[in-house]
Structure 1
Amino acid sequence: MAKIQCNMISYTLQRTVDIDIILPTITIPQSRHQDVQPVHHVYPQPYPVLYLLHGYGNNHKQWCGYTNVELFAEERQIAVVMIAGENKFYMNHPQDLFYDFIEKELPEFITQTFPISSRQEDTYIAGLSMGGFGALYHGLTHPQHYHTVGAFSPALAKNDISIEEVTRKALELQEKLPDIYIACGDQDFLYEDDLAYVQLLENQKVEHTWISEPGYSHEWRFLERI
């Protein structure tokens, strides 16, 4: 596995952005047993990719500090891209076009620089709390870009934007929505909102998976359970 810490200049944001990329490359056991199976750095096909969005008050570094994302990426042979999204809910702001950056420039940079796929069927987006809002917002407003959306203890509203309304508008356009994976502990302050949103998905027959665990609040330990 390779972990790449990258600081890129963004033409959308007109400043630098910190990004961590996990690539499931050669493992130590593979390098020690080349007599059984030769190894190399030539990739037969681009890796599928997960764009992973952090929560409010955190940054992209917390994923590797609090979860087993590196191990999961290696086991599942998927690249993971983690950006520093600050506290901006992954939306456009007057001086920071974060939404445009994630939808256009970030995948352009990632897929042109690393052996990572640009195909919809290989592209996933997920996030925690504020990042869960961001993942749903991006996945529902550009469903043609993503195979699956993951929302872990997601916030469902920010200012005048409601994920419920975004979902209804996407359904009115009769577009094929990405599969949605949503999870929340039953002691989380967002649990009732998330449960109500899951009911909307069920009523509208949107393909989704709902996971909850008793006794967990808005905490990192919940992610280790799911």
Structure 2
Amino acid sequence: MKYLIGTLLVLSGFLTTKAASVDTIAIFSNAMHRSIKCVVITPDSYKDKEQRYPVVYILHGYSGNYADYIRKIPGIAAMADAYQEILVCPDGAYGSWYLDSPVDSTMRFETYVGKEIPAWIDQHYRTKASRQYRAITGLSMGGHGALYLAIRHQDTFGAAGSMSGGVDFRPFPNNWDLALRLGAYKDHADNWDKNVVVNQLPGLKNDSLALIIDCGVKDFFIDVNRQLHQRLLEQGINHDYIERPGEHNWDYWSNSIMYQLFYFNRYFRK
């Protein structure tokens, strides 16, 4: 932990010396027949060098959008310089949960974020286009989305993280538009069971994904994160799991994203 804190302190001084580029683009979805906005952050060196870069996909939470991270954590852009990575912040719409909805054919965000966006980014940016150089993380709804997509698309992603993730939303059947995406829980429990992160674990083998999961101890998702952690231990899946003081808010996530990006940088450099 001392090494991690020291490294982050060194980076905090480095971050002020570079100028990453922040672009808002639109990526067309063949699955949903529409273009959707996305923020792409490239390091300062991207303008001058022909090198290729790892990519971290960062998913927003319920009621958020593609611009959340750059607006609420302005320092995140400089992390692209610090780690020489491309950061991609897609829009997951209002309450998509990054699923291909079984009850609403206009909401196919598993296909969009899990397949279409990475393919588009690899075609239009100088990426290291392999799973070993792609990671995905997110907060709250996006934490669910990141783990859900990474486990189901291990050919695309090599590492995944979650910050305050809604990794099992079944205890919250009346919240966050979930019934609009999956049908009412009392009538469509099978849809809910099939689409929670904890029920994706049978498709996960040890070290098939590098995983980092964290949640604040006063967060309303702490219990489901603890249960996920226990399930991973029982299944013998290596992962980093962090609990620390914090709630479900941007104060927590502004700190958490620094640890997540540090973790992914170490993964890319192995």
For the criterion TM > 0.5, the same-fold answer is yes
Query: Which of 139, 144, 149 is matched with 2:160 structurally?
Result: 149
Is 1:59 the equivalent of 2:78? no
> What residue in structure 1 maps to residue 181 of structure 2?
none
Letter in 2 for 1:150: G
> What residue in structure 2 maps to residue 35 of structure 1?
none
Is 1:217 the equivalent of 2:247? yes
Please tell me whether the aligned partners of residues 143 and 176 of structure 1 are also in contact (alpha carbons under 8 angstroms).
no
In structure 2, runs of 5+ residues without a counterpart are: 1-19, 170-191, 257-270
Q: Give, in whole Å, the separation in 2 of the partners of 1:151 and 1:175.
A: 18
- Offset, 1:201: 1.2
> What residue in structure 2 maps to residue 31 of structure 1?
none
RMSD between superposed Cα atoms in Å: 1.7
Is 1:3 the equivalent of 2:22? yes
SS in 2 for 1:81: strand
> What residue in structure 2 maps to residue 88 of structure 1?
96
TM-score, normalisation: structure 1: 0.86
Please tell me whether the aligned partners of residues 206 and 237 of structure 2 are also in contact (alpha carbons under 8 angstroms).
no
Residues 32-67 of structure 1, C-alpha deviations (whole Å, 9 max, x = no match): xxxxxxxx62323x1100111100011111111222
Change (3 A) 1:209 1:47: same
Query: Which of 152, 162, 170 is matched with 2:196 structurally?
Result: 162
Change (3 A) 1:8 1:163: closer
Letter in 2 for 1:9: F
Please tell me whether the aligned partners of residues 48 and 79 of structure 1 are also in contact (alpha carbons under 8 angstroms).
yes
Residues 161-194 of structure 1, C-alpha deviations (whole Å, 9 max, x = no match): 2211111x214xx585311100100000111110
SS in 2 for 1:157: coil
Letter in 1 for 2:160: V
Which has the larger share of strand? 1
Query: Which of 71, 75, 81 is matched with 2:82 structurally?
Result: 75
Please tell me whether the aligned partners of residues 21 and 77 of structure 2 are also in contact (alpha carbons under 8 angstroms).
no
Query: Which of 78, 98, 104 is matched with 2:109 structurally?
Result: 98
Q: Give, in whole Å, the separation in 1 of the partners of 2:31 and 2:224.
A: 33
In structure 1, runs of 5+ residues without a counterpart are: 28-39
- Offset, 1:157: 2.7
List 4+ stretches of structure 1 deviating above 4 A: none
SS in 2 for 1:6: strand
State which drifts further: 183-192 or 154-163. 154-163
- Offset, 1:71: 1.7
Q: Percent identity?
A: 25
Matches within 5 A, 1:98-117: 98-117=109-128
SS in 2 for 1:112: helix
Letter in 2 for 1:41: D
